[in-house]
Amino acid sequence: MLQSLNLGWCENVGDLGVMSLAYGCPDLRCLDFCGCVLVTDDSVIALANKCLHLTSLGHYCGRNITYRAMYWLTHSRVKNKPSMWQSMKGRYDEEGIRSLNISQCTALTPSAVQALCDTFPALHTCSGRHSLVVSGCLNLTSVHCACAVQAHRTLNTIPHKAH
């Protein structure tokens, strides 16, 4: 069964192709459709609902990807695997999205991407671990992984000595 596919920069790939892939390849784990500018939220929603083992998604330059796609990815775990939700607390690195390239996806909102990052703690924005790539998305500079948030909190709780 197909588990990994790179469709990057295939200009004619659109929703019909990606949605057919989602419905026909439920074991898909890695999909790169960077530069496929015809792909919309509908494709990502189909992937979220049908490809429950998806760990890596690349969609650089996805002008038609919005907050809807990010929320569907976030909620797909709860919706599709409700009995697993509690057991997943210690297994974030084993299942779920671990790599996401949404560079140049300028229609995304910080709250939607932050919700995704919070749901899948294996996604990192921190230095040296960048598995959530948001370059070129100036509106997403406030999105941070759990490591970066914890480091920021630690820095703010360290008492500063007066000079």
The per-residue pLDDT for range 19-71, each reduced to its tens digit, is: 999 999 999 999 999 999 999 999 999 999 999 999 999 999 999 999 999 99
Q: What's the CA gap between 130 and 146, in Å, rounded?
A: 12
CA–CA dist 126, 32 (Å, integer):
22
Q: What is the mean pLDDT of residues 94-120?
A: 92
In this prediction the pTM is 0.83
Q: Which of 10, 74, 21 lies closest to 43, judged by CA?
A: 21
DSSP string covering the chain, please? ---EEE-TT-TT-BHHHHHHHHHH-TT--EEE-TT-TB--HHHHHHHHHH-TT--EEE-TT-TT--HHHHHHHHHHHHHH-TTTTGGGTT-TTTSS--EEE-TT-TT--HHHHHHHHHH-TT---STT---EE-TT-GGGTT---HHHHHHHHHHHHSPPPP-
Residue 95's pLDDT is: 75
Mean pLDDT of 129-144: 91
Give 153 or 48, the one with higher predicted confidence. 48
